[in-house]
Structure 1
């Protein structure tokens, strides 16, 4: 065919771009586990690739129960990707493998499965907002990101970065990627163009529209923009940090929300135990107006406790009654 060595190398170079970098990292773990399995079973090197259907079935069945089902699936596709990249034939007994992967999910240890998380609802987001300081750069960024991902029905990973040092304006969303448009019904929507995703090298557009109530993403964005003034070509949810800017990482985002959710639960718990309002307010570092709103919101829940403790009811009335003019 008169193909040079450079022509053949080019095939491999182009094929390498079929998988995102983050996917390759996950697949590399699968390759390691696969080769350890082969070494322990004394499988000769030439039989590692092309891997027979029987070998791959044995691999999956051997590690079933030791890893989560989805992880085993990723490991299998890691071996598949490596063989495709090196022009090695990939042939499986598909019905058998499909059944084995399903069985691996059923056999996974409970400890390998993530606990079900509380769903994010408008009410839950409202409670979180009450436990965030929207004048704080980080909290303003986190709440804007939360409402954006919620109303855009988008994955958090599309609006955050994995690490502080990997922000890339050609991949990650920026304030300059935000614009206002109208849908076919003439309704105003805010559009964010994600420059690049795993599924599309040309990126994708994600939308939300203004909402009524405290979870309005437009109000949250306006607050973030006012508090942080994120650079046009910086990260969309960059926030002020020690005289500079930090892109919002997924880890920091989830960490702050967990803390806010914990504070929301612990504050009510302390009040229900009858702790004096002054003590709870000081412990939670609540501003006066925010703490009063919190008490009003949970007055119905606290009513039985206040009725049983007259001093608590008197204290509640003192905190929530409007000042005499």
Structure 2
């Protein structure tokens, strides 16, 4: 997370123990250093499978950042806070709901998960409480949260989004072969697709419904350089990302990837669609020469038309991120890095 004294940088499997709260937990042993040391050994040994808890704990802190929950209220977390966290985690944004749509415009992000995943998140937060000392919620509080989760599952059941298949290298190659890379619109589509795949980015991070330079990538957020071995790379500094803390940028690093290279795609985009520093990074120009930010609906419509023509059916916005993750895992990249 932020690398502070409360949330030091470490592997996800280790977060339960070094990540602490501002409040001192009640003592669980007599005040003797030997007994306290034995208690600490027992504490760590009782939670051997800690890797699965990291995602829930991280998601909990992201939720707290979004809704400006102070550190001293996070541990111990109240029933009200954990109930709210569970509601947020499963809520599927409904564009027809004016209040939810307005909230989304105020940087209240939603990335809904299933009820089972939300319960795993809560298990991770509960394990964090046990590891740190404060008592977890009572069974009656968990029953109330489960009631809400089941209710929201019923509410969203009729409009659940279909499973999103991953984009593969073959599909990516077909997309590039079909797009006209001298055309401003298609050139932008290809740069978005290549960067989203190899950068494991949400498609909303490369496209948008209403461009905002404070939230979306501009030309000024792009940097090219060479690493210590002389290999070229590109860095995209996302002003706002779903996996970043509030008001914190997040960097995506891209390197050379053969014929599907995102660096080449970005250089080609800059050549075909020259733009100013404050213009959208992923943009095209119309017949009048005006710079136009690429809308998500336009991009997906063009991408889907290509994939359908090749016989793969319809793709979705998270398919590039899922495909990128599958690509790096297949190359035996450490899952912790991915």
**TM-score scaled by length of structure 2:** 0.48
> Considering only CA atoms, is the larger Rg found in Structure 1 or Structure 2?
1
TM score, norm. by length of structure 1: 0.50
Larger helix percent: 1
1 or 2 for the larger relative contact order (CA 8 Å, sep ≥6)?
2
